[in-house]
Amino acid sequence: MRFSFNTQLLSRVFISLPAAGRWRAAQSRLFCSSPSSSDQEKPRASMLRHLTSKIKATGPVTVAEYMREVLTNPVTGYYVKNDMLGPDGDFITSPEISQIFGELVGVWIISEWMGAGQPKQLQLVELGPGRGSLSSDVLRVFSQLRSVFGGASVSVHLVEVSPVLSRLQAQSLTGNSSQEADSEDEPVYRHGETAAGLPVSWYRRLDDVPAGFSIFLAHEFFDALPIHKFQRTPKGWREVMVDIDPEKPDRLRFVVAPSPTPASSTLVQADERRGHVEVCAEGGVIVQQLARRIAADGGAALIADYGHDGTKTDTFRGFKGHQLHDVLSSPGSADLTADVDFSYLRRMAGGGVACLGPVTQRTFLKNMGIDSRLQVLLRNCSDPTTRKQLTGSYDMLTNPAKMGERFHFFSLLHHSRLAKPKKPDGLKLEKKKSPAPLPVAGFTELSFS
């Protein structure tokens, strides 16, 4: 299906937005070399000691508990202690590769706000904002199209557990204007303003974000949430656990639980046909929160991640220094991730919202007009190096062999967003045709003619 989008709106974005002047190394954590001997380093002592003590005291831990400790432990967690993004980190995300990505997401947000009837309030809520690159690019689109918002109140709300990353986000979005809360118990632990005067607030939990019409963004957020792993056995489903290797007490190993666990008894679907399954229960809870908020207050959620629609099995892996890393080696020193099961997110969202996707990143970006935006940038750029970076970034984002078909977009929408106009009841002296809902950009092909 093709539809004619707001061509005037898009042309203003594509023609008027300047190049950001910060083209970054085009490398994703998906395209890494195999582990090398340099990865066989001594385990990170403090985290390993913490985990082995826990296992000795209570027995093997679930993979979900292992991930939660390794990534978000308040003292030694990977996300809490490190700036893991960028060329010097362990992975690079799409917003770090090209400004076009964030610009098109910005256009999508404005399109959904318009499709919802241009409410007087718009909260941009990003989960796990990284360095703040995506929100920064989105806000640049908002600034260029500020006349479109009229008198609407626009605010930014970031859900971030990492103190290191929250400071980087604040620098990117508010410069030196942000302030930390006096108490750690405050729901808003940091606040500031953008150069355009938009308020920005930081939270540790989604529950603390105020109610109201919101567009939620989750880019490479769900893949880092803890997963449970289950193995089919002759005796039924059993949970995969993390234990101490009896032959090497300074190393960890995977084991299969000898009997059912609460998770294996409740999280595996009765009709599951795969032999190995990963379930992100925490991701399901967050999707339910998003669905309830959208159903109650309006808005939408856009989830972008690498994943599948209920087909893959063992996807749990680690990344360190842009290389694949043994997930049980040197815990706390590497990123841990697993592909998102979009079929599970759809099931957990329930019937209170409409779900679209997943569609591939290539499809979504092309539907959003990435080819037109690239041509505008190339026409306005004469520097050979920058032109090469532009085309290289485009290739990384859209090439099916790279990020184009490995990353997917998935959306939650209020049912009214897709509702067909009701036919008028009774005799009408003047017959007016109700306008059809604006099709959802990115999930439907754009026409620029």
Tens-place pLDDT, residues 273-322: 999 999 999 999 999 999 999 999 999 999 999 999 999 999 999 999 87
Predicted confidence (pLDDT) at residue 2 exceeds the cutoff of 50:
no
What type of residue is 61?
A: V
Residue 40 is predicted with a pLDDT of: 35
End-to-end, the C-alpha distance of the chain in Å comes to: 15
206 with 128: CB under 8 angstroms? no
- Tokens at 180, concatenated: 């930390």
Residue 162 is predicted with a pLDDT of: 87
- Tokens at 84, concatenated: 């893991």
Predicted confidence (pLDDT) at residue 375 exceeds the cutoff of 90:
yes
3-class SS at 78? helix
Predicted confidence (pLDDT) at residue 31 exceeds the cutoff of 60:
no
Residue 445 is predicted with a pLDDT of: 76
Q: Which fold has domain 82-227+280-368+403-415?
A: Rossmann fold (3.40.50)
| pLDDT tens-place string over residues 151-181 | 999 999 999 988 889 999 999 999 988 999 9
Position 44 confidence tier, pLDDT thresholds 50, 70, 90: low
294 with 414: CB under 8 angstroms? yes
Position 89 confidence tier, pLDDT thresholds 50, 70, 90: very low
The residues that bridge with 33 in the sheet, in sequence order, are 323
Residue 449 is predicted with a pLDDT of: 43
Judged by average pLDDT, the poorest of 88-92, 211-215, 405-409, 436-440 is 88-92
Residue 171 is predicted with a pLDDT of: 96
Per-residue burial over 198-210, b if 16 or more Cβ lie within 10 Å, else e, is bebbbbbebeebe
pTM of the model: 0.88
Residue 420 is predicted with a pLDDT of: 74
DSSP labels for 368-425?
A: HTHHHHHHHHHHT---HHHHHHHHHHHHHHH-IIIIITTEEEEEEE-GGGGPPPPPPP
Residue 184 is predicted with a pLDDT of: 84
Listed residue (113, 184, 205) closest to 153, CA to CA? 113
The mean pLDDT value for 39-50 works out to 67
Percent of the chain topping pLDDT 90: 75
Predicted confidence (pLDDT) at residue 9 exceeds the cutoff of 70:
no
Judged by average pLDDT, the poorest of 47-56, 86-95, 368-377, 399-408 is 86-95
Judged by average pLDDT, the poorest of 42-51, 95-104, 123-132, 391-400 is 42-51
More confident site: 42 or 221 = 221
